[in-house]
Amino acid sequence: MSYIYLDNAATTRVSERAAQTMLRFAREEFYNPSAGYAPALSVRRAITNAAGTIAGLLGAEAEEIVFTSCATESNCHAFACGIKNKKGNIVVGSGEHASVYECAMRLKSKGVEVRFAATDADGHVTPENVAAVTDENTAFVSVMHCSNETGTVNDIAGIAAAVRAVSPRATVHSDGVQAFCKVDTDVKKLGVDLYSVSAHKVGGPKGTGALYIRKGFNMPPFIVGGGQQGNRRSGTENVCGIASFAEAAAEYKKAAGAFDARSVAKIFTDRFSGRSDVRINGGGHTSGYVLSLSFLGLRGEIIAHGMEDNGILIGLGSACSTHVRSNRVLGAMGVPKEFAEGSVRISFCPSTTREEAEYAAATLEKVTNDLRERMRR
């Protein structure tokens, strides 16, 4: 069965060019990049070139990019090593991805003071809300750039400035997974020390991510061993993943420039706005790529199954966590439980067509109306 796929915040289809690149480095240029012979040196150059591509998309330099196994590893690396030997509290946004939230909870269990910056009703973590829980003893701050639940985009540059005005020594990290190649992610403008990105959200393979580490920032390695990647992340590099990540990201960025995500999302919001039994979660500045809708008195998983029966795949929230944890994010926004339990996430990519969106929006309305009709019987 052929599906309309609208769960791109969970993962994306690997692009044809990225897949070809993976195959080339798996079957032809398969050499260990640490070996000394000429074919291996060519593979090593491919890693350097890939770092340059990712860096270019981030407004960074190639030497500031460290490749990882995924964005979860990048986030864990940031928390484990970005704090280093600093004493003091840490601040995180209250709507973070599970990989950031659980890192914070682990530190809390070890006696570190963790403070949560509140989200507003639209899902934004504002510079003012971060400043409200930051003091001169704050050692580390992590706020996501774009919400994986609602698509809201946070003012990371404003947050970094607000933090450094109070605690100049604080490390500033941002999870940029849902922002990368979709909104402006120039890390120099953002003013961050650390920034996490993922391949499989932009047409690359699963199992590959990257961490931007600002030049001059003293970052101990998270994984030690053979000293690969300038001794910043040991382990034989996943050349298939790294090279195809760069290929996919460059391709995705170009396609995104011609894609009006907000106009596609508007097809859904126009259909459901003004209804007392539906909440559109998130507002203000959004990427347009992620849309969260909550249906009063319904169950998100039942809605999703109904959509699947009609050939449309949508999500419930972060595919990296349970729906209960997804509700943690909506709860932080003040979404009532009776709405939050009926939440679904719809997410787009540059290949999503208006025709697909229009059909999906109409089907979603029919599915939810039919469910309500059954409940009344």
Please tell me the distance from the alpha carbon of residue 303 to that of residue 305, in angstroms, as a whole number: 5
**In this structure, which amino acid lies at residue 22?**
M
Q: What Å distances lie between residue 227 and 39, 117, 248, CA to CA?
A: 20, 37, 27
Domain boundaries, the chain: 4-12+258-376, 16-254
As given in the structure block, the two tokens for residue 200 are 């499989």
- Mind telling me the catalytic residues? 320
Question: pTM value?
Answer: 0.96
CA angle 293, 296, 298 (to 5 degrees): 90
DSSP secondary structure of 106-137: HHHHTT--EEEEPP-TTS---HHHHHHT--TT
Q: In the prediction, which pLDDT does 328 show?
A: 86
Q: In the prediction, which pLDDT does 327 show?
A: 78
Q: In the prediction, which pLDDT does 337 show?
A: 94
Q: In the prediction, which pLDDT does 318 show?
A: 54
| 3-class SS of residue 346 | strand
pLDDT digits (tens), the chain, 377 positions: 799 999 999 999 999 999 999 999 999 999 999 999 999 999 999 999 999 999 999 999 999 999 999 999 999 999 998 887 778 999 999 999 999 999 999 999 999 999 999 999 999 999 999 999 999 999 999 999 999 999 999 999 999 999 999 999 999 999 999 999 999 999 999 999 999 999 999 999 999 999 999 999 999 999 999 999 999 999 999 999 999 999 999 999 999 999 999 999 999 999 999 999 999 999 889 999 999 999 999 999 999 999 999 999 999 965 555 455 557 899 999 999 999 999 999 999 999 999 999 999 999 999 999 999 988 87
Please tell me the distance from the alpha carbon of residue 45 to that of residue 35, in angstroms, as a whole number: 12
| CB contact at 8 A, 54 and 65 | yes
Partners of 290 in the beta sheet?
347
CATH no., domain 16-254:
3.40.640.10
Q: In the prediction, which pLDDT does 86 show?
A: 75
Find out if CATH 3.90.1150.10 is the number for domain 4-12+258-376. yes
